[in-house]
Amino acid sequence: MTRMTSFRSRSGLRLGALGLALILAGCGASPEAKRYLLTSAAAPAPAAVASGPRVMVAEATVAPYFDRSQLVSRPDDFRVEWDEFEVWAEPIGRLVTAKLVDDLAARYGRARVMAARTGRALDADFTVGADVLRFDSDAGGAAVVELRWTLASERRGCLVATDRMRVSRAFDASDAADETAPDPRVQAYSEAMEEISARIAEAIEAARTGAACL
């Protein structure tokens, strides 16, 4: 009886060690997550630095369904999916805020545009607000950004412009195989954001010439 118990114990230990080895092997095979940032805009022109307005960008708010690190896709109108191994390096609200700051700073100078959360003093002429309603890729292979933005004049103490924009940019997923090139989906998101930033800049220019309060 003693010998049989000993045999069973040794067999159980061997099986347990084998199971642990298989679990560890499976864990080691998991791919590492890729983390992304939106691409930055070009450096500002010297003339813009000298003459541009001072702009504060408030922290963007984000719809709860995609306020997470994973990149989101919509296979149809009724479902959303999250990519476990394709993630943003920062929360989407911060990414969008930083992108608006970068794009507007490329026009007006980095000393004249900053995010409100930085805590740095800025005697702003305008404040930009943003509510992100969509930030996902659709079944057709396009990155979709839907954003409601506002522009307030700090000098006049009123709202001078607002719009709700949906911008989509197609991308070729097969290009993602090139590890040396920017990820095509992330590049598409960046380009969509740049179109929105350009529209906000147009509103700023209109407000500088005397656009009425809304």
Angle at 206 between CA 200 and CA 210, to 5 degrees: 140
List, in sequence order, every residue forming a beta bridge with 73; answer none if it has no partner.
Answer: 81, 137
Instruction: Specify whether the CB–CB gap between 203 and 212 falls below 8 A.
Output: no
**Total domains, the chain:** 2
**Residue 105 pLDDT grade (very low, low, confident, very high; cuts 50, 70, 90):** very high
Give this prediction's pTM.
Answer: 0.80
Quote the CA–CA distance of 110 and 202 in Å, as a whole number: 18
Domain span at residue 6 reads 1-30
Residue 209: the pLDDT is 86
Residue type, 120: R
pLDDT exceeds cutoff 50 at 134: yes
Q: Is residue 214 part of a domain?
A: no
Pair (39, 26) in one structural domain: no
Pair (107, 5) in one structural domain: no
Q: What burial letters (b/e) apply to 113-134, b meaning 16+ CB within 10 Å?
A: bbbbeeeeebebbbbbbbbbbb
Residue 89: the pLDDT is 94
Residue 117: the pLDDT is 77
Alpha-carbon distances, residue 22 vs 28, 190, 204 (angstroms): 10, 42, 60
Mean pLDDT of the chain: 83
Pair (48, 12) in one structural domain: no
Q: Is residue 177 part of a domain?
A: yes
Pair (21, 100) in one structural domain: no
Q: Is residue 55 part of a domain?
A: yes
**Candidate from 42-51, 56-65, 105-114, 199-208 with smallest mean pLDDT:** 42-51
Residue 49: the pLDDT is 58
pLDDT tens by residue, 70-103: 999 998 888 989 888 899 999 999 999 999 999 9
Pair (63, 138) in one structural domain: yes
Tokens of 195: 């179109």
pLDDT tens by residue, 27-38: 555 678 889 999
Pair (20, 45) in one structural domain: no
User: Which among 33, 28, 29 is positioned nearest to 69, based on CA atoms?
Assistant: 33
The helix/strand/coil state of 149 is strand
Quote the CA–CA distance of 201 and 101 in Å, as a whole number: 11
Residue 22: the pLDDT is 47
Q: Is residue 91 part of a domain?
A: yes
pLDDT tens by residue, 145-202: 999 999 999 989 999 999 999 999 999 977 655 565 568 999 999 999 999 999 999 9
Pair (108, 25) in one structural domain: no
Pair (36, 22) in one structural domain: no
Pair (18, 37) in one structural domain: no
Alpha-carbon distances, residue 170 vs 45, 71, 115 (angstroms): 29, 16, 29
Pair (69, 126) in one structural domain: yes
Pair (8, 102) in one structural domain: no
